[in-house]
Amino acid sequence: MAEWDLKSALSDAESRMQRTVEIFERELSGMRAGRAHPALLDKVTVDYYGTPTPLAHLAQVNVPEPRTLVVQPYDKAAVASVEKGIQKADLGVSIRVEGGLLRLLIPVLTEERRRDLVRQVKRLLEDQKVAVRNVRREVLEQMKQAERTASLPEDESRRGQEQLQKLTDRHIARLDELGMVKERELLQP
């Protein structure tokens, strides 16, 4: 019975750590490096007939050129609302309305802006590492409590702690790898 609880706790910790890595990947995909990518618009919400609606539900996004996004709303009457939503998101892009679609032009990043983005990546990376370590700390506390109440033998607890540390190290290494890749991408002219 105690072994099942340990396995369950480790499995839960792994899934929570994996979610943290996935959140980090999603955040990084929204950071632009001077190139157009539809993920840049993932967080844009549009006031569509009084309801905040994700842009992805209202329009198709294409990348015809490396520095251009074309947003084509399914409802032509929503073009003005989509434009307002994109402006409100403050993405640093210029918007041209051309009939029933919007053309977003992504400016070249300055060296200073690239450094700012790298700092953001590092800050975000550190926040995610803290989240992974917090999961480890919570599970360690649960293990020690189970050990004190004698529902988990000491040797199993020690093995569980080693497995938990390996999980933590693996997820932190993955976060570091993702952060380095994004930094290199941002620093590329």
Q: Are residues 25 and 114 in the same domain?
A: yes
Q: Are residues 69 and 44 in the same domain?
A: yes
Tokens of 140: 């360690």
Q: Are residues 52 and 83 in the same domain?
A: yes
- Identify the CATH number of the domain in which residue 166 sits: 1.10.132.20
Q: Read off the pTM.
A: 0.69
Closest by CA to 54, choosing from 70, 73, 28, 33, is 73
Closest by CA to 78, choosing from 105, 46, 52, 54, is 46
Residue 125: the pLDDT is 96
Task: Report the percentage of the chain scoring pLDDT > 90.
Answer: 46
Q: Are residues 21 and 42 in the same domain?
A: no
Q: Whole domain around residue 129: which residue ranges?
A: 2-30+110-187
Per the structure, the count of domains in the chain is: 2
30 Cβ neighbours under 8 A, 6+ residues apart = 39, 40, 42, 43
Q: Are residues 168 and 149 in the same domain?
A: yes
Q: Are residues 99 and 118 in the same domain?
A: no
Q: Are residues 115 and 166 in the same domain?
A: yes
Q: Are residues 8 and 69 in the same domain?
A: no
Greatest Cα-to-Cα distance within the chain, rounded to the nearest angstrom: 71
Q: Which alpha helices (DSSP H) does the chain contain, by range? A: 2-29, 55-58, 79-88, 111-148, 154-187
pLDDT in tens, 112-167: 888 888 999 999 999 999 999 999 999 999 988 888 887 878 888 899 999 999 99
pLDDT in tens, 119-128: 999 999 999 9
Q: DSSP 3-state assignment of 90?
A: coil
Q: Are residues 73 and 91 in the same domain?
A: yes
Listed residues 105, 125, 156: the one ending a domain: 105
Q: Are residues 120 and 177 in the same domain?
A: yes
pLDDT, average across residues 178-182: 94
Q: Are residues 153 and 101 in the same domain?
A: no
Q: Are residues 24 and 114 in the same domain?
A: yes
